[in-house]
Structure 1
Amino acid sequence: MAANVATPSAYGVLGLLAILALGACLTLTACTEAPEAAPPPTASATVDPAHTRAPSPAPDRAADPDALEECPPPQYWEDPYADGAPGSLATLGGLPMRIPVDLGPREYASGRAILDEQGVPVAYVAASGDIQEFVADRFCLGLAYLHNLNSVRRDIADGVGLFAGDTLNLNPYTVVSIGDQNGRVADNPPPDPLPPQNAAN
């Protein structure tokens, strides 16, 4: 009887095939794994401090404790030409003419208020570093209304801010006679409607 015995050469071929299959499997697994991420590229450059400028942060009016001070209830000029309708509000360029109230000097609005005989602010002389929005807040006026008050004698649309010594008009009855910008007086069209104007004192 012949025994079914494999010869060493048959085992060798089977073993060799098993080793090759295992090697191929390991090789394929290694090839399908994601490669390690390369470190991100780094940029190196020299910055010349003489050619850089740190951005100037805009002042935050909401964070300024003075800007949070409440204005008294608004008071408005009455329209004397309202044809017998008492309580009609006069307007300047379509905005109600609010009577300014001075809350006092503060950062970005530290200039000098000019008052009339009744103590009502009628003009403002800007100090260095003043900003129009803060000046409007100081006098409890909206910025658009402050622009209307000064639209004839100042170039509001050019985006130029205040210069030390500029005079801002705060009185709707002196729009054409009070105010200047950096030592000059513009001659822009008046806002419509424009109330009757008084001569400057």
Structure 2
Amino acid sequence: MITARLPIAVAALGLTAMLLAGCTTTAATRATEPSPSATAATNPVAEPTPESTESMESTASTESPEADSCSRLSEVISHTDGLYLQRQGTLRDRGAREFAQGEVAVDEDGTPVTYTVAPGDVETVVAERLCAYPNLGSMNHRRDIHPGQVLWLTPNPDTPWVDYYGPHDAPAGFPQIPYQQAIESAGRAVDAGEVDSVRRIWNDTLRPMFSNQVTIDAVQKVVDAGDLDALRQLFS
């Protein structure tokens, strides 16, 4: 009986030795692996320097698809019951594009002064090109823009301007269509340099349509002076 049990005992001892060896090996292996804290201490992550941060921001701004976008839109506001206009914010030409292919004239600072409408132009796209609110047509006494029209982009705040759609204090039932037709006729006369025609249209047709004496006096002064640039802002 003792002889029969001997191989079993020997086998059990061998298995125990193997298990102990395996545990020892695993523990040794784990002991040699670096801990996360030790790795961080050995290979610290470099903190970004101000120079590297500035470089990354510069690269991001250069590669941004919004780099050519308008930081803000320029708008025209009115004073004294709409009689005087003033532009707030700076216009800039972002380049020709579909539906805004016209020619831009700029001043010595590179700021757009006029825009000549090209065939197929759309007012809202022209305004987008110039970083402006889309009120260019009505500001130039037109319901819509048309090819060949020269849009004046920045009004002179010291020169009066009259609304294309009707006087500011127009009563109910005001004859808007005859008023607009007279404004357009005066505008064409201005563009042709016909000052006498402008005076006749104002004195015979437009003046009786206004009731505000401040507006009448301001416009009359410009009409009597005959300055074409001032007349252009009034009617063209």
Tell me if TM exceeds 0.5: no
TM-score w.r.t. the length of structure 2 is 0.35
